Structure 1
């Protein structure tokens, strides 16, 4: 009996309905009871959804803690579910009213179905270059690497080659632009790939030579956080890369491209200069 009560309480605190609790008891725990028995067990343990409501002040204090973190992204139904999991007895109407009072801007934002996105700040040209590689054509032997200025969104370089994994190749793109522009950016943002190691060392050396107190002149992070260049890759695919992807996939589907070394070299020989 004690074990049954623990199971019922566990499923009840998960926010499950009576029918769902009965189904889990039967299929998972091999316990078959009736709906009336389940209600008696819940009544005996004092577990109610609509009786003995919690103090609204306690619920409001719980919401304040939740809203200081990721809770600000969630609607009233999710918060109602969290209340159940934490042992609060409260109605969805009460939750909705409390959220409207405690987080009016979040409620309005969710009503408009608008997410609160991060604000990108960049003080001026050449403050930060965003560097990344585009691998959609890599299965066919063509590797694209590019850099974009975070302020003006001007492409610093955009090159197609047989590899984008060689650190010397990426460093060559970088130093060529440094020579042409007669200077380096204040910062470079790139991913953790080993292809950026040589470029990172060059950037640090050049920045520290001009200003020994310079810090954070090279920032590493995941590619999906490198938002300026990632956004431009979407533009590139729509207006350029998708054409080549379709052509190469047609070759593959028709049996003219197997992905081996010779086929990739033939693609490089015939198409690389056109793509570049």
Structure 2
């Protein structure tokens, strides 16, 4: 009986590991299917004995190098090792280890790798009581001179993007109020606290949020449910802008600048 159980256990560990399940996930699946507990250490011991690995055989180095070179031609040049590994897995369907990505980026993009290292900042501590406790709103102006005005709102606890919209303006209070109301409708509720800067574009939010929280009885009801602060200290959304710039907008800013030079030098129609 014991041998039969061990055989079934080992077969399941092999089956689940072959589809990429971690030891912790194998533990949960085994308990769910058979109602019996098995320790992570046991699972790891079996995997070692059977020579099992969650990681499939890595894709050929030639394919990985080709994909990384393709990414480095565009805004993939701004990605770090983790983000690049994920991009290669999701976009190109490659199986690649992080240390392989790290090694290749250092060789293929030495200057970019050094630049990313120098831009690392000390992370500040952020506290939130839970989902939808505080939403952080802000506008992004880096692409504005190219006609793309971005506005976003982030849930402080989960870092979920509540909205991320691009239009001709992020200074129009009507636009910002529309984003907020649509988001509240979709989520069937508003946050306990809404955090914005003192820009005029947020004037409608400063009225709508307290109205929606008017009949609540906690300490953040009514007018206490909206809070102004400096844009630079709006930690959650500023962190998102920093990530956006490193991953995407720096490349697009350079691209649009090149386009503007080409237009000025070779086509005067747009200046008329």
Q: TM-score, normalised by structure 1?
A: 0.49
Larger Rg: 1
